[in-house]
Amino acid sequence: MKTSKFLLILLVLLLIVSIGVNYYLYKTNGDIRNQIANTEKLLGLEFTQEQRDSMIDGLMSYKESYKKIHDFKLENADMPSLIQSPIPLGYPFNHDQSKIDWYLPKDVVMPDSIEKLCFYSVAELSELIKTKKVTSLGLTRMYIERLKKYDPELHCVITLLEERALEQAQKADDEIAKGIYRGPLHGIPYGVKDLLALKGFPFTWGSRIYKNQIPEITSPVIQKLDEAGAVLIAKLSLGEFAMDDAWFGGITRNPWNTEKGSSGSSAGSASATSAGLVAFSIGSETWGSIVSPSTVCGVTGLRPSFGRVSRTGAMSLCWTMDKIGPICRTAEDCALVFDAIRGTDGFDKTLIDVPFNYNPRKELKDLRIGYVEDYFKDKYDFKENDSITLETLRKMGATLIPIKLPEQIPTMAMSIIVEAESAAFFSDVTLSKMDTMLVRQEKMAWANIFRQARFIPAVEYIQANRIRTKLIDEFIKVFKDVDVIVSPTWGGNQCLMTNLTGHPALLIPNGFDKNGLPTSISFIADWFNEADLLVVGSKYQKEAGFDKKHPEKFLP
């Protein structure tokens, strides 16, 4: 009798527990159903209640997987295993490298003051060094003094490399004295955007989070410039994590108007080159980071083809779009620097070794030059200067062919590729709440973009990349008819388009606006055709002459 009563009580208790567990699961699953329904609205999806119920176990499994992914330590340099190459399989390239005759200037006159060399081109400086009219040491000291003098106003320097630079300059002079001449960059002082690693020196990415980060390697780009005999004198500012011109040291200023920023993210590279604080600099671009500051600061920037220049030892932002390139005073200088830094490095799997057959004697009439007709018809700020540019090219013998770019492709929708990849590379910053330490916190700043990008579905990221393939296919059609394209710098969506497709672009100053600030024109070429791109840009530049204009405040 007592046993039966005990069993009855036990059964009742088990029933109560079962009801409680089921109620808890029902309530919990109900909450999850509501979360799924709300997320559907955010992502533009619609499922039935039964479909939501079926997802619950799988989504909880995903959540456990996410936790394991979050807990696994990854460095910024750890690239995804997927290999990005915008070049279609079997795309034809010339594989024979010809010897380049640069036709550099001769009999360059040494001015009465060494500081007057601050705005000379690399081509001119190389002749003075080669003929021993100036020493690398003298040139290096001059630029270092200008950096010290003007950086307090421009905020373009993160790390001054004075001791290392003077040692490199002395080595260059010693070699040249012995008859060892490495080429046009030998003894030329330059700066790099501080997203390239230099072993033993700060590697900040413009962020206080990484202010004390010291790399154990040197970027192959810097190594190649070392081998060319160039003298690295400063690591230059960048907008924090390669966006705009704001970093932990303030806002990098525009030499043409120091009350304004220099744009970004290659903020310090463009500002220092424009102000005559370095002979040339190295920048990088994912989406406009060479183009924009080069425009604002009135300098010449080359964004090479994706897969042309090593990104090993560089901060990663968007591994399928990041590109390293030179910012100089002339297109000719860009060619000299590009030739030194291009090529494979044994580490970056996206690199392709293709010749660079630059021929400065090539005539414009021998090239098919297109222009994006619809863009030039639009009303926009630089229209008058751009119209003059087209007329100048025609007077120089160019036959301009009207072309269209594939604006029917939803290009802006593919910007989620940049957001998803950058959020992945800086995942630790978001998960650790260090994103609150970033300088900029507004809606369109990285801190918020990193957070919102975690809601981008993997399916949509893949779909965006499939549309990207269609965009690449459309550009194959465009470049069947032309070798080089002229476009308004901010015309349509061409800047994002050509960054997504990996095409090279050259940014050339082409005048000034009503406020006295520089304007620019963009030249675009087919994949790995930097040679024709630089020929066209250089010939136009020598005719237009805006590379000879410098900000008055920084004249020696």
What pLDDT sits at residue 443?
A: 87
- 326 strand-pairing partners: 282
> Which tens digits make up the pLDDT trace of 410-461?
999 999 999 999 999 999 999 999 999 999 999 899 999 999 989 899 999 9
Taking the C-alpha atoms of residue 534 and residue 330, their distance in angstroms, rounded to an integer, is: 10
> Does residue 464 surpass a pLDDT of 50?
yes
> Does residue 147 surpass a pLDDT of 80?
yes
Greater confidence, 439 or 73? 439
> Which tens digits make up the pLDDT trace of 106-123?
999 999 999 999 999 999
Domain boundaries, the chain: 2-71, 114-409+449-554
Taking the C-alpha atoms of residue 472 and residue 501, their distance in angstroms, rounded to an integer, is: 6
Among candidates 516, 556, 550, which has minimal Cα distance to 273?
A: 550
> Does residue 26 surpass a pLDDT of 80?
no
> Which tens digits make up the pLDDT trace of 164-207?
999 999 999 999 999 999 999 999 999 999 999 999 999 999 99
The average confidence (pLDDT) of the chain is 93
Rounded CA Rg of the chain: 28
> Does residue 134 surpass a pLDDT of 80?
yes
Report, as an integer, the average pLDDT of 378-407: 96
Q: Which phi-psi region, left, alpha or beta, contains residue 478 (left: φ > 0; alpha: ψ -120 to 50)?
A: alpha
Of 5-14, 167-176, 258-267, 533-542, minimum mean pLDDT range:
5-14
Greater confidence, 40 or 527? 527
Would you place residue 12 in the very low, low, confident or very high pLDDT band (cuts 50, 70, 90)? Answer: low
What pLDDT sits at residue 3?
A: 62
Report, as an integer, the average pLDDT of 18-43: 68
Would you place residue 512 in the very low, low, confident or very high pLDDT band (cuts 50, 70, 90)? Answer: very high
Among candidates 339, 372, 396, which has minimal Cα distance to 494?
A: 372
What pLDDT sits at residue 129?
A: 98
Would you place residue 385 in the very low, low, confident or very high pLDDT band (cuts 50, 70, 90)? Answer: very high
Beta-strand relationship, 323-328 and 300-303: antiparallel
Q: Which residues are CB-contacts of 453 (< 8 A; sequence separation ≥ 6)?
A: 416, 419, 420, 422, 423
User: Residue 501 belongs to what H/E stretch?
Assistant: helix 494-501
Taking the C-alpha atoms of residue 320 and residue 495, their distance in angstroms, rounded to an integer, is: 15
> Does residue 18 surpass a pLDDT of 90?
no
What pLDDT sits at residue 80?
A: 83
| Owner of token pair 């009503």 | 514
What pLDDT sits at residue 29?
A: 53
3-class state of residue 63 by DSSP: helix
What pLDDT sits at residue 24?
A: 47
Which phi and psi angles does 309 have, rounded to 5°?
-125, 135
Taking the C-alpha atoms of residue 295 and residue 289, their distance in angstroms, rounded to an integer, is: 10
> Does residue 7 surpass a pLDDT of 90?
no
Among candidates 249, 201, 418, which has minimal Cα distance to 320?
A: 418
What pLDDT sits at residue 25?
A: 45
Tokens found for residue 485: 């394209």
Report, as an integer, the average pLDDT of 395-402: 97
> Residue 449: exposed, middle, or buried by beta-carbon count in 10 A (0-12, 13-18, 19+)?
buried
The architecture of the domain spanning 114-409+449-554 is: Alpha-Beta Complex (3.90)
Of 12-21, 111-120, 247-256, minimum mean pLDDT range:
12-21
> Which tens digits make up the pLDDT trace of 263-315?
999 999 999 999 999 999 999 999 999 999 999 999 999 999 999 999 999 99
What pLDDT sits at residue 37?
A: 86
Tokens found for residue 300: 């010449």
